[in-house]
Amino acid sequence: MPEPRSRRLSSCLASGCLPGEQILAWAPGVRKGLEPEMSGTLICTNLRVTFQPCGWQRNQDTPLSSEYDFALVNIGRLEAGVHWGCWNSLLLLLPLFSENIQLLRPGSLLKFIPEEILIHGRDFRLLRIAFEAGGLEPQAFQVTMAIVQARAQSSQAQQYLGITLSKAGQGSGSRKPPIPLMETAEDWETERNKQGARGWRVSTVNERFDVATSLPRYFWVPNRILDSEIRRAFGHFHQGRGPRLSWHHPGGSDLLRCGGFYTASDPNKEDIRAVESMLQAGHSDVVLVDSMDELPSLADVQLAHLRLRALCLPDSSVADDKWLSALEGTRWLDYVRACLRKASDISVLVTARVRSVILQERGDRDLNGLLSSLVQLLSAPEARTLFGFQSLVQREWVAAGHPFLTRLGGTGASEEVRTIRDGIGGILLKN
């Protein structure tokens, strides 16, 4: 039975939890390394690992503690060690003490009681925690094993689906509007009215996911296209991901996205007419853009991201005077530049030349989402607000069927797939 002091601490920590979040273990009195050094409490929950400095007070607008929060799926590497010595000389001494360092993968067993742990984030952040001597051994073991086991839970990705985004991050008394989850026809109708897309309607043809399992229940289609025509037309596209509206520009032009055509498809005249009507959507001048043309492949993005990560980690062996040339050698900036250039060209077509653009990618789940998001960030001021950006991600990535459950490190996900996800997300978020 926990002591009264432990119960009070647990109650205090739980007050800063997200909806559906549960505290698994915590260790008070730990010390965070790197500048600035500070003492506090290390907490592991079913969703994240967080360090709360002594005297930290929860912000009413968000329960997160910014740079000291690591979502479990964002932890790229976890290491435990003993006798690492002085913080400032740690990076130089790591090779000498490699026998005292254990890489903890999901499901690993600790070989010793750790005195220090390092948490490497996929976003290049590093959290170094030291467990002070004198009575913290049980907490050090428990919280470290809690992190290992929490990362290994096969249900981790599903737990994220259980968080109500409209409630997360809102303290009591918050008056911020909820983020539309795009799960109901009302959400899509509200967004359509906000964009002023009068020539479009909300289709319910996929309400049972019998048209495309990776598309949302509802999406926008031209007013004059019947649901029966949509069902036939979508059958000629890869995984049933036919053309649908992503964003309507106030000037009258539209941005659409779709998957690739089935090469073995043999549409009849009525199907061809339906496909043409959906692609043109009432416009006489439409530009079809191959999203994969002139952009790096997913394998190229993966390799560039791996090189960038290695360059930005604290133990990088690249000298300071060679760092910029090494950065250029990763090709990361080249790929970011290529994505921005293509998004900018599309934005000009949609906004200045008032032409509708159709983004076409075979799978319609990676580069289409990236380009569509970048075009809206460049062209729509609202998308550059926090609320607008959250809504954009929800619509173009979550509702559009990006395979997060596979690429966030869930059961069966490979490191290669997770790295591709990190790379594409990095291109989007770093711009």
- What is residue 255's predicted lDDT score, i.e. its pLDDT? 97
The fraction of the chain above a pLDDT of 90, given in percent, is 45
The predicted-structure confidence for 89-147, as pLDDT tens digits, reads as follows 444 444 434 457 888 888 788 888 888 999 988 888 888 898 876 556 788 999 999 99
- What is residue 169's predicted lDDT score, i.e. its pLDDT? 44
Of 63-77, 219-233, 234-248, where does mean pLDDT reach its minimum? Answer: 63-77
The predicted-structure confidence for 192-228, as pLDDT tens digits, reads as follows 999 999 999 999 999 999 999 999 999 999 999 999 9
The predicted-structure confidence for 372-429, as pLDDT tens digits, reads as follows 999 999 999 999 999 999 999 999 999 999 987 665 444 444 444 455 455 555 666 5
Of 33-42, 117-126, 365-374, where does mean pLDDT reach its minimum? Answer: 33-42
Q: For residue 82, how many other CB atoms are within 10 A of its CB?
A: 14
Q: Which residues share a beta bridge with 201?
A: 221
Q: Give the span between the Cα atoms of 243 and 265, in whole angstroms.
A: 16
Q: Give the span between the Cα atoms of 357 and 354, in whole angstroms.
A: 9
Domains, the chain, ranges and CATH? 5-56+65-84+97-153 (2.30.29.30), 185-311+325-406 (3.90.190)
In the predicted structure, residue 273 carries a pLDDT above the cut 50: yes
Closest by CA position to 255, among listed 340, 339, 363, 377? 377
Cβ atoms 35, 143 nearer than 8 A: no
- What is residue 235's predicted lDDT score, i.e. its pLDDT? 93
pTM (predicted TM-score): 0.74
- What is residue 267's predicted lDDT score, i.e. its pLDDT? 83
Q: Is the peptide bond before 36 cis (omega within 30 degrees of 0)?
A: yes
Higher pLDDT, 187 or 108: 187
**Residue 125, Ramachandran bin (φ over 0: left; ψ between -120 and 50: alpha; else beta):** beta
Q: HSE-up of 396 (CA within 13 Å, CB side)?
A: 28
Q: For residue 124, how many other CB atoms are within 10 A of its CB?
A: 14
- What is residue 176's predicted lDDT score, i.e. its pLDDT? 59
Q: Give the span between the Cα atoms of 378 and 381, in whole angstroms.
A: 8
Q: Give the span between the Cα atoms of 257 and 8, in whole angstroms.
A: 52
Higher pLDDT, 296 or 10: 296
Q: For residue 57, how many other CB atoms are within 10 A of its CB?
A: 8
CA distances to 127, 149, 151 from 106, in Å: 18, 6, 5
- What is residue 56's predicted lDDT score, i.e. its pLDDT? 67
- What is residue 387's predicted lDDT score, i.e. its pLDDT? 92
- What is residue 178's predicted lDDT score, i.e. its pLDDT? 80
In the predicted structure, residue 295 carries a pLDDT above the cut 50: yes
* Banded model confidence at residue 163, pLDDT cuts 50, 70, 90: very low
- What is residue 417's predicted lDDT score, i.e. its pLDDT? 46
